[in-house]
Structure 1
C-alpha cells in the first residue's frame, strides 16, 4: 500500500506538471495560428470584452488529456480511459466548429448525448443505489440511464454557460477539480484523481493567458464543453462509489448527492436562475443575455473580471466546506432544507434588483447622463470661480 501511494504521488506530480507545461508552451502557438488565420472572437452587445480576442484555447485541453489518458490507462480498473476518448473527441469537434461557425443548441445537445452514451456504457459509472438519500436505495437500470444522462447534460451545459468573463470558467473548474481530487485520493480512486490533476494543470496554465492583457485567449466552447464533460463524468463516478469507501470521507453516506450539488453550486445556481428569468420573459432558455451572476458583479457592482472570478470561485469553495461540515452530522432532509434555503437567499439577493438587459442599458445610459450633468456643474462652478 505504501508503494502504491508513493507511485501515485510521483505520478500526480508528473501529470500535473506535464499538463501545465504542455498547455503553457503550446497556447502561444494556438494564439499565433488563430491571429494569422483571423479566427478571432468579435465583441458584440453582450460581450464583456471590447476588442477582437483569440479563442480556441480549449484545443490545448483536448490534446493534453488524450496524451495523458494513454499513460493513465495503467491506473484504471474498468478500461475507463478508452471510454473517455470517444466522448472527448465528439465534443472537441463540435466545440471547435461552434467556435468557428455558430451551431444551433440542438446540434450541440445531440453531440453531448452521443458523448454521454460512451460513459454510461461503462460499468464503473453504474449507480446502483443512493444509499438512503430521501429514502431511495436501489435504482433500476432505466432510471440510472435516464437520470445519469440528464445529470451529465445539465452539468455540461451549466459549465458552458458560466464561461462569460475572463477567468471564471477556469477558476470555478479549478476549485471543483481540487475538491474531486481530494475525494478520489481519499477513496483511493487514483485514476480519477490523476485525471483531475491533469486537467487542473491545463486550467492553471490557461488561466495565466486568460487573465493576460497582451496574450489573452478564451477557452471557447471547445474548452468549456470538454471541461464540463470531465466534471460531469467525475460527478457520476462520485455518486457511483461503493458504500464501503465512504468511511474515509468526512460526511455521511446518504449525503453524497447533496455534496455533489454543493460542489457544482456556481454553475447550477447560475443556470437555474438565468433559465427561470428567460422563461418568465417568454424567451428560450438558451437565448443569450447579460443576466448571468458574473455579469451582475461586473455591470452593477463595478468589479473587474479577475475580482468577480476570484470572488465566485472563493464562494464555491467556502460553500462546499460549509456543507461538508453539515453533512458530517446532519441528515439528508436537513441538508436538503439548507440547500433550498441557500438557493432562495441567493435568488432573492439577485432578484431584488431588476437585471434585465433592457433595464441594464437604460440604467447605464442614465448613469452616464448623471455623470455628464455633474461634470458640467463642476465645470461651470470652476469657470465662475475663476471669473470672480
Structure 2
C-alpha cells in the first residue's frame, strides 16, 4: 500500500511539473529564437520550439531526490551524473549541431557511471541458449554496447509528432509492471516518473498552437533511462523473482520485443544507408514512420498510434510465448517476424534501388508540371525566402522590398 501511495504522488507530481513548465520553455525558446527550422527531410513546415527535454531533466532530478531511499545500491547517485551528461550533450546538439563522434564519447561517459554500479551487473543469462555465467569484462562489453544501441535507436525514431512519446510510454508501462512484480520499487517509480513526463509532453507535441519538440535533449535522456531499465531487467536473478508471467531465461528476447520499434527501425535504416554507400548516421527520410507518412498517406498521429499499438501487441505476444516456450523457439519466432516486417516494407518497391528512383521520379514530375504551368502563362516567381508565388501576387511582394534587393530576385522557375 505504501508503494501505491508513493507511485500516485510521484506520477501526479511529475506530470504537473512537466505540464505547467512546458509553456515556460516554449516562451523562452521563442523569445530567444532557438526554434527548429524545417529542412528538406523535416516532417514539419514551420519553425517550432524544441528542447522540451529540459523538463524531463529537472523532473527526473526532483523525482530521484524523493525516491532515493528505495535504491539498495545507491543507484540514484549513479543515475544523476549520467542523466546530467545526456542533458548537456543533448542541449548542445539542439543549439549547435555536434558530430556523432562527440555525441558517442559523451554517451560512453554517461553509461560508465551505470556499468560500475553492482546493481546492474549481469552475472548470468539464466540459461538463455545454454549460457549461464558471464565474465565481468564480457558484461561491460555487452552492457555498454547494448546501452549505446538503445540510446541512439530511440534518438533516431524521434522524427514525427507523438512517435517517441507513444513508444516511450509503452516501454515505461511494461517496465513499471515488470519491476513492480519483482519488487524493484525504485526502478518502478523511475519508470512511472518518466512515463508521467512523456504523457504531459505528448499533449504539447501534438498541439497545433503550443507545439514543442523534445529535441535531442529529451530523446537522449529518455533513451538513456530506457537503457538503464533494460540493463537492470537483464540483471534480475531467477532465484529471487518468481512472480513474472514469463521465464526469466527468456529475458533477453523479452527485452528485444520491448524495444522492437527503435531496434528494427535503426537496423533497417542503417542497412539502406550502407547499401546506398552512405554513412549509417547520414540523415534521410527512410525511417519506418517516414514510409508510413510519405507513401501510405498517414498523418503523424495515425502513424504514431499504429506503431505504438504494434509495439504493445508484439510485447504481449512474446510474454505469452515466454511463459512456456523454449529459447530456440522464441529466437526462430523473433527472426521470422523481423524478416516478415522487412518484406512488408520492401515489397512495395521500398528497396535499396527503387526508393531513390521514386523520389527522383516524383521531383521530375513536379518540374514538368511547373514547366507546363509556365507555358500556359502562370509563371512562378521567387520570394525572398526562396519559395514560389504566382506572377499576379508579385506586385504586393515587390512593394515591401527595397529597390536594390528586387533587382536580383526576378528569377523565373
CA drift of 1:354 comes to: 2.7
Provide, for residues 97-117 of structure 1, a one-character-per-residue CA deviation record: whole Å limited to 9, x for no partner: 000000000000000000000
Picking from 254, 262, 266, the partner of 2:261 is 266
Gaps of 5+ in 1: 1-5, 373-388
Residues 274, 292 of structure 1: 8 Å contact kept: yes
- How do 1:187-206 and structure 2 match up within 5 A? 187-206=182-201
Residues 291, 355 of structure 1: 8 Å contact kept: no
- How do 1:110-189 and structure 2 match up within 5 A? 110-189=105-184
CA drift of 1:351 comes to: 1.7
Work out whether 1:354 is the aligned partner of 2:347: no
CA drift of 1:371 comes to: 9.6
The residue aligned with 1:375 is: none
Residue 137 of structure 1 aligns to a residue in which SS?
Answer: strand
The residue aligned with 1:302 is: 297
Distance 1:246 1:180 in 2: 15
Distance 1:321 1:211 in 2: 27
The residue aligned with 1:251 is: 246
**Alignment CA distance shift 1:311-1:18 (3 Å):** same
- How do 1:225-240 and structure 2 match up within 5 A? 225-240=220-235
Distance 1:318 1:370 in 2: 45
Residues 246, 252 of structure 1: 8 Å contact kept: no
Work out whether 1:43 is the aligned partner of 2:25: no
The residue aligned with 2:101 is: 106
Provide, for residues 60-104 of structure 1, a one-character-per-residue CA deviation record: whole Å limited to 9, x for no partner: 000000011011101111100000000000110000000000000
CA drift of 1:254 comes to: 1.3
Provide, for residues 169-208 of structure 1, a one-character-per-residue CA deviation record: whole Å limited to 9, x for no partner: 0000000000000000011000000000001000000000
Higher fraction of helix:
1
CA drift of 1:243 comes to: 1.3
Provide, for residues 282-337 of structure 1, a one-character-per-residue CA deviation record: whole Å limited to 9, x for no partner: 11110000000000000001000011001000000000001111111110000000
CA drift of 1:364 comes to: 3.8
The residue aligned with 2:405 is: none
Picking from 315, 320, 327, the partner of 1:320 is 315
Distance 2:364 2:324 in 1: 51
Distance 1:118 1:234 in 2: 14
CA drift of 1:355 comes to: 5.8
The residue aligned with 2:338 is: 343
CA drift of 1:365 comes to: 4.1
Residues 171, 313 of structure 1: 8 Å contact kept: yes
CA drift of 1:253 comes to: 2.1
Residue 131 of structure 1 aligns to a residue in which SS?
Answer: strand
Residues 298, 304 of structure 1: 8 Å contact kept: yes
Provide, for residues 6-29 of structure 1, a one-character-per-residue CA deviation record: whole Å limited to 9, x for no partner: 111001001111110000000000
Work out whether 1:91 is the aligned partner of 2:89: no
The residue aligned with 2:27 is: 32
- How do 1:202-213 and structure 2 match up within 5 A? 202-213=197-208
Distance 2:248 2:232 in 1: 14
Residues 35, 54 of structure 1: 8 Å contact kept: yes
Q: Which has the higher contact order (CA 8 A, sep 6+)?
A: 1
Give the aligned length. Answer: 369
The residue aligned with 2:388 is: none
Superposition CA RMSD, Å: 1.7
Gaps of 5+ in 2: 371-413
Provide, for residues 133-187 of structure 1, a one-character-per-residue CA deviation record: whole Å limited to 9, x for no partner: 0110000000000000000000000000000000000000000000000000011
Distance 1:322 1:60 in 2: 34
Work out whether 1:289 is the aligned partner of 2:284: yes
